[in-house]
Amino acid sequence: MSRIVYVNGDFVPEEAAKVSIFDRGFLFADGVYEVTPILHGKLIENAGHMARLERSMRELQMPPPCPVEEIAALMKELVARNDVYEGMVYVQVTRGAADRDFAFPEDATPTLVMFTQERKIEDTDSSRLGIRVISTPDWRWARRDIKTVQLLAPSLMKMRAKAAGAHDAWMVQDGFVTEGTSNNAYIVTKDGTIVTRHLSTEILHGITRASVLRLAAEAQMKVEERPFTIAEAQEAAEAFMTAASAFVTPVVEIDGVTLGDGKPGPVARRLREIYIATALEHAD
Ligand code: PDD
């Protein structure tokens, strides 16, 4: 049976979904998106994802297609229609279709599309064994706090990682790690302090990041929000990354240097456990 997707008011089989070739998402990457995880058939942290979607649209002066509460209800309906137990739901809003012009159109109707992906996210090789990352330059634009669909730079960096036999890339700007290609980056120092880059326009303000830092503080773990270098990361006791699609995933190797004994560290393992348990309690 083919997947049911949502496009501009309709639930249709994926083969039947259509968007104009003049859509500004297609021509200018003039679009924003969110990825919300699904566990046990329920949405995880969707209120946070909807708040960020609203903010992304506002920052780009993009008129919303409808209130985000309605988008959230449509997401739940899509998950139910596709009977997804574990995976993600992807939501994209663009400024809509208009004759090609750099200036924003005055009267375009925003495009809203959604689809689900069935995929294991709770018990994965990456979470059990940890991942290897390489460092790459950060080629992205200056407003990485807005979750836009212009993902070519991280895509290229992910391909560099694959070519190097690694799983992902940690991007570096002015000597300091910004974040992973699609996740926030952390190290744990030898004295047990969790270090992750502070919030600014240089990184995406991860929904998982916010919850993980809150849970870490509640568990009496020490957290420092500041930039760190690849050299400091290679000396760290452990490292990990967070994302809606990965929760907390240990990092066991950075640019060929093994961290500790090369196995996922206790801090990353504990945070993953606490994060999933708490997220499931509040899932809807
Ligand atoms: N990516 N940083 C970047 C650049 C990201 O693309 C993402 C998420 C994150 C983590 O944010 P969150 O915890 O809210 O998922 C950080 C999603 C999963 C994606 O593009 O598929």
Residue 231 CA neighbour count, 13 Å, CB half: 1
**107 C-alpha vs ligand 1 centroid, how far in Å?**
31
Q: Is 76 a catalytic residue?
A: no
Is the predicted pLDDT of residue 178 greater than 80, yes or no?
A: yes
Q: Report the percent of the chain where pLDDT is more than 70.
A: 100
Is the predicted pLDDT of residue 277 greater than 90, yes or no?
A: yes
pLDDT digits (tens, 9 = 90+) for 18-28: 999 999 999 99
Mutational test site, ligand 1, from 34, 35, 158, max ligand atoms within 8 Å of CB: 35
SS3 85: coil
What is the structure's pLDDT at 1? 61
Q: pTM, whole model, 2 decimals? A: 0.97
pLDDT digits (tens, 9 = 90+) for 132-169: 999 999 999 999 999 999 999 999 999 999 999 999 99
Q: Given the CA of residue 49, which atom of ligand 1 is nearest to it?
A: 14
Task: Look up residue 196 and give its amino acid.
Answer: T
Is the predicted pLDDT of residue 80 greater than 90, yes or no?
A: yes
Torsions phi, psi for 111 (to 5 deg): -95, 135
Q: In what order do the strands lie in the sheet with 31-39?
A: 10-13, 4-7, 111-118, 87-94, 31-39, 42-43
**183 C-alpha vs ligand 1 centroid, how far in Å?**
5
209 lines ligand 1 (CB under 6 A): yes
**203 C-alpha vs ligand 1 centroid, how far in Å?**
10
pLDDT digits (tens, 9 = 90+) for 111-141: 999 999 999 999 999 999 999 999 999 999 9
Distances (CA, A) of 61 to 7, 28, 54, 57: 22, 15, 10, 6
Lowest mean pLDDT across 54-58, 172-176, 280-284: 280-284
CB 128 within 8 A of CB 134: no
Q: Given the CA of residue 245, which atom of ligand 1 is nearest to it?
A: 18
What is the structure's pLDDT at 193? 98
Domains by residue range for the chain, with CATH:
4-118 (3.30.470.10), 125-281 (3.20.10.10)
d(CA 169, CA 179): 9
46 lines ligand 1 (CB under 6 A): no
Mutational test site, ligand 1, from 146, 147, 182, 242, max ligand atoms within 8 Å of CB: 182
Q: Given the CA of residue 181, which atom of ligand 1 is nearest to it?
A: 4
- Mean pLDDT, the chain, rounded, equals 97
The DSSP string of 158-171 is HHHHHHTT-SEEEE
**206 C-alpha vs ligand 1 centroid, how far in Å?**
6
What is the structure's pLDDT at 2? 86
Nearest-CA residue for ligand 1 atom 8 is 182
Exactly one of 18, 120, 147, 158 is catalytic; name it. Answer: 147
